[in-house]
Structure 1
Amino acid sequence: MNVTTIESEVRTYCRNWPVEFERAAGSRMFDRDGRAYLDFFAGASALNYGHNHPALKRALISYLEQDGVTHSLDMLTVAKQEFLTEFAARVLGPRQLDYRVQFPGPTGTNAVEAALKLARKVTGRQSVVAFTGGFHGMSLGSLAVTGNASKRGGAGVPLGHTWRIPYDGFAGGEVSGLKLLDSMLSDSSSGMDLPAAVIVETVQGEGGVNVAGPVWLADLAELCRRRGILLIVDDIQMGCGRTGSFFSFESAGITPDIVCLSKSISGYGLPMALTLFRTELDVWQPGEHNGTFRGNNPAFVTATAALREFWADSTLEKQTAERGLRFEEVLGELAAQYPEHVSELRGRGLVWGLAFREPDLARQVAATAFAAGLLVETAGSNDEVVKLLPPLTSTDEELAEGLGILRESVRSVAEAY
């Protein structure tokens, strides 16, 4: 039987990469025939530390061999307590972040839903400000603050209680979203009610690797503070070191009221999500927001191992920043070589995007790269951006290899166009 005859038409990635993957290690995946593919997708940044990292794998296998608790809802377990201890010691404490930790469920959209619900509960207000290009998840509350038309179109019901304003750089930077928001809140005839919260990504991954500047983010935080609006940073794809620092907002010098984490927080690709918020915002009643799989203990185990392995010092952070500069240099040269096709280079740390003037070119480049053994995806409003998300643990040789394949793929497609 052809399995595609029973799997839903909703499937996506297997259409772009039509091979059966059998195993994975480090920065590479291998198909059933043993062919290796260099992975510059990394589970959409759920695998920041690569596939099956030995230290994390050992911790997980040991835990399972000892019959460790796997499912516990929000009961107290040794695995959960060890994770919270390490998270406080290695992440919150050094950054002087007085956050409570909520386990809202296993995925990023669960973290966003909890954040939105909490913001409304705390403030007693209903509307939320979101940004053009934003992506926050596929459940209804998260979709309401997501900009992508095709994703929103699948909801089947109206998606309301959201004001959408221009993101940093929208329309070529000709429209100031923050000035617009401040002006509308100042004018009692604007029709905009004071929102409960603003939700923002510091780098919009699915939106096309749109990077908000640190000054813009600082101005947004100041506006929220001055207006009494809660600031939610969705750090689901860009957190856990993707931009260098553990949280992507650190370079802007801001402290969000609420932070959403998922994807690489487990370190191993296991489902896990966190909603972090200032202690005084913890107004939940017991059981008021819950979920059956919010106690994924194997994920706690690998998350703890990842914190110990990668966040005991600043080595990974510095390495990612240095590699980001190298990516900027190499990709900048590539963009300059084909200005008639590449419109822009965007990125920070180890998330980068090449924006093409014709969306079909981006799709052709991704397909050509796949044929040459490199996994990259496309992003943006029209899939016009080739998006690079290599594991942070890739070797210098692997990064150079991937960039070489990408360079040759762009050359091949551009010269044939």
Structure 2
Amino acid sequence: MKTFKEHESQVRSYIRSFPAIFQKAKGATVFDEQGKKYIDFFAGAGTLNYGHNNPLVSEALINYLKEDYIIHGLDQATAAKKVFLEKFYDTILQPRHMEYKIQFTGPTGTNAVESALKLVRMVKGRSNIIAFTNAFHGLTMGSMAVTANEFYRDEAFINRANVSFMPFDGYLGEDVNTAHYLRKFLEDQSSGVDLPAAVLLETIQAEGGINVASAEWLREIEQICKDFDILLIVDDIQVGNGRTGTFFSFENAGINPDIITLSKSIGGGLPLSMVMMRGELDQWKPGEHTGTFRGNNLAFVAATELLSYWENDNLSKAVYNKEKIIKEKLTGIKDQYPEIQADVRGRGMIYGLKVPLMGFSSSVSEEAFSRYLLIELAGANDDVLKLLPPLTIENDLLREGLQIIEDSVQVVMERREAILEGLNHDSQNPG
């Protein structure tokens, strides 16, 4: 790792969690320079829902490049963009009776969020935004202002103005309906919370610790937005694209957001980011929000191919089947080790095992890596093991990865017990 230590910025992060030099990847497996195979429960932080080097994508990209088709085209009309837009409408929007205009932003999810925030403030003529505890929406200035984790919110460079944070579903315990809490603040003209242009939320807070909003809570938030003339933005960047079993994560709740942000897996591993908005909200002047890479033609090609997964419900059924496998194994770990006070949370194929013991989840992740499993952490205290395997992972490989988690938990437990036993021995024999 000498090259990276000498030449790459200290800001590098995942390289520290996974200290190996990776060279090849296929499906749900990654190989390092020595040819060692790792099972991937990380999936590019949700970018590789359809696996590494999906054969549909690889073949289409090779053919596209061989023909010298357009790679970079700003926001000009290209054949690749046309085909993607038509495919997205026919396969995703029309069957769901959804009508949205699509804006292609800069190539990262945070730029989609920035665009959405600019748009709602312009349309409504208000500056305030309601965001939620444990939210993560990106790390550029506007997106960082609606991101809750203090690790990212340094006073030296963040603008904290024009954002009001409210408790997410379950934040105050099961007995407190935080939608009622939000409504009370908006009804009370002395609450100190300005009427917002929009409410911005994730249906499942992925980076925030796999916090799952109930369908009932989402419907209440939508009704509040209607009652107070507030726009509803759903950030579906990490938990959309089929991660919950439906293409959009909010489909089970039956809500209709005014704006949806998509990125990560929509491009099949290539950078693509977009904002979907109700037609009447499309009030941009030409060029009012631009970016050199707004619309990646190679990503359009990849995305078009991957939309074929949604021509039937086979992938959805597979996700629900794999969810049962994941939930059963994690629940088994929780029941086997009650002393670690684990909590199993998630939906579809985004799941978390929260262990409140300091450093426990981090130790499990490190042990899992030594056993050739890539799994990251989530939550403000890095106390949640975050399972994010590709949706296309084979059941046997999924079970193999889950067994590594169980074995790693056992090893960490044994180490902790040995340390405690040693401490007890020392206290009893101080001489």
Fold shared by both chains (TM-score > 0.5): yes
Q: Residue 224 of structure 1 aligns with which residue?
A: 225
Cα distance change of structure 1 residues 155 and 178 upon mapping to structure 2, 3 Å threshold: farther
- The structural deviation recorded for 1:157 is 3.5
- The structural deviation recorded for 1:321 is 1.4
Quick one: which amino acid aligns to residue 287 of structure 1?
G
Q: Residue 285 of structure 1 aligns with which residue?
A: 285
Q: Residue 78 of structure 1 aligns with which residue?
A: 79
| Cα distance in 2 for residues equivalent to 1:317 and 1:299 | 23
| Cα distance in 1 for residues equivalent to 2:385 and 2:240 | 20
Quick one: which amino acid aligns to residue 375 of structure 1?
L
Secondary structure in 2 matching 1:412: helix
| Cα distance in 1 for residues equivalent to 2:164 and 2:178 | 11
- The structural deviation recorded for 1:122 is 0.8
Secondary structure in 1 matching 2:183: helix
- The structural deviation recorded for 1:180 is 1.7
| Cα distance in 2 for residues equivalent to 1:278 and 1:155 | 36
Say if 2:412 is the partner of 1:413. Answer: yes
Task: Write the mapping of 1:8-407 to structure 2, written as runs, cut at 5 A.
Answer: 8-153=9-154, 156-267=157-268, 269-308=269-308, 310-407=309-406
- The structural deviation recorded for 1:154 is 7.2
| Cα distance in 2 for residues equivalent to 1:347 and 1:242 | 11
- The structural deviation recorded for 1:95 is 0.6
Unaligned runs of 5+ in 2: 417-431
Contact kept, 8 Å, 1:166 with 1:176, in 2: the verdict is no
Quick one: which amino acid aligns to residue 259 of structure 1?
I
Instruction: Deviation per CA, 1:261-295: give whole Å up to 9, x if none.
Output: 0000012x100001001111111111111111012
Contact kept, 8 Å, 1:39 with 1:390, in 2: the verdict is yes
Quick one: which amino acid aligns to residue 168 of structure 1?
D
Instruction: Deviation per CA, 1:373-411: give whole Å up to 9, x if none.
Output: 100001101000000000000001111101111110111
Quick one: which amino acid aligns to residue 393 of structure 1?
T
| Cα distance in 2 for residues equivalent to 1:181 and 1:413 | 41
| Cα distance in 1 for residues equivalent to 2:3 and 2:75 | 40
Provide the identity percentage. Answer: 50
| Cα distance in 1 for residues equivalent to 2:311 and 2:64 | 22
Contact kept, 8 Å, 1:136 with 1:146, in 2: the verdict is yes
Secondary structure in 1 matching 2:219: helix
| Cα distance in 1 for residues equivalent to 2:158 and 2:256 | 34
Q: Residue 428 of structure 2 aligns with which residue?
A: none
Unaligned runs of 5+ in 1: none
Contact kept, 8 Å, 1:342 with 1:354, in 2: the verdict is no
- TM-score normalised over the length of structure 2: 0.95
- The structural deviation recorded for 1:167 is 0.4
| Cα distance in 1 for residues equivalent to 2:358 and 2:38 | 24
Quick one: which amino acid aligns to residue 304 of structure 1?
T
- The structural deviation recorded for 1:357 is 1.6
Quick one: which amino acid aligns to residue 383 of structure 2?
E
Contact kept, 8 Å, 2:40 with 2:389, in 1: the verdict is yes
Quick one: which amino acid aligns to residue 346 of structure 1?
R
- TM-score normalised over the length of structure 1: 0.98
Quick one: which amino acid aligns to residue 341 of structure 1?
I
Quick one: which amino acid aligns to residue 372 of structure 2?
G
- The structural deviation recorded for 1:56 is 0.8
Range with greater deviation from structure 2 (57-66 or 174-183): 174-183
Secondary structure in 1 matching 2:369: helix
